[in-house]
Amino acid sequence: MNTPTISSSNCDNCPIRHRAVCARCNADELVELDAIKYYRTYEAGQTVIWSGDIMSFVSSVVSGVATLTQTMEDGRTQMVGLLLPSDFVGRPGRDGAAYNVVATTDVVMCCFRKKPFEELMERTPHIAQRLLEMTLDELDAAREWMLVLGRKTAREKIASLLSIIVRRGASLTPNSIGENVVFDLPLTREAMADYLGLTLETVSRQMSALKRDGVIVLTGKRHITVPNMGRLLEEAGDDSDGGYLV
């Protein structure tokens, strides 16, 4: 395992301090959380959690990208969550994991022992409030995703995924002001296919098509430049304003 060293057990320097499940906690509450927390690291490709596992912890993604997937008996796989820094993993009150969690890049997790975390939640409204807020956001994201899966064409699906990654990464890579948006795909073609309910061949073909049509510029396989974000949003079939204030 790479660099298991945890430089900051200190929440003050934590990159997700004000966005994760602990966002609303005050100093006293952080002390309580600190007592039940530990860090774990995972290498790219490693499975963090197997569906059905008994979970002894819940956790927050500190850095890196992981996926939440569901698999049918015959192997068909659907991604049901894309876990970026600050996202929460696990369900308080449930023992078994419902999904597979796989690290797609090297990942650092901030884990809380489950039992004490649940007890802490009982008497710390700040945690439960934040978790409710985050869960409602995830539910909205899942519903937007359902529209993508159910009603969009392959080309629109790809454009939607790229838009979502840009939107979610905006806070991480603060260069989304000008026209040119640049980012690295944290997913393989296969993972993109699992996200979008497509085959990896169709993903590849549509990526090539968007490239050919000048919607995106591909440098290597993963480095992407979007010359015109409005155009990408059009291709995604979304309202051209992106749904948020312009």
Partner DNA sequence: CGAGCCATTGACAGGTCTCAACCGTGGTGG
Partner DNA sequence: CCACCACGGTTGAGACCTGTCAATGGCTCG
Site for its own copies, rule CB under 8 A: 68, 70, 72-74, 76-78, 80-81, 91, 93, 98-99, 125, 128-129, 131-133, 135-136, 138-140, 142-147, 149-152, 196-197, 237, 239
Q: Which of 37, 127, 197, 238 binds DNA (CB under 7 A)?
A: 197
The Cα 52–Cα 45 span in angstroms is 19
Measured from the CB atom, is 84 or 207 closer to DNA? 207
Measured from the CB atom, is 105 or 199 closer to its own copies? 199
Measured from the CB atom, is 95 or 239 closer to its own copies? 239
Interface segment toward DNA; rule CB under 7 A; list 16-24, 79-87, 137-145, 190-198? 190-198
Q: Are residues 73 and 120 in contact, defined by beta-carbon separation less than 8 angstroms?
A: no
Distances (CA, A) of 23 to 19, 76, 78, 133, 207: 5, 37, 30, 11, 37
- Min dist. Cβ of residue 23 to its own copies (A): 14
Measured from the CB atom, is 114 or 152 closer to its own copies? 152
The Cα 189–Cα 209 span in angstroms is 14
Count of alpha carbons within 13 angstroms of residue 48, beta-carbon side: 36
The Cα 145–Cα 206 span in angstroms is 19
For residue 23, give every residue at least 6 positions away whose Cβ sits within 8 Å of its Cβ, in sequence order, or none.
17, 130
Residues in contact with DNA by CB under 7 A are 45, 153-155, 188-190, 197-205, 207-208, 218, 221-222
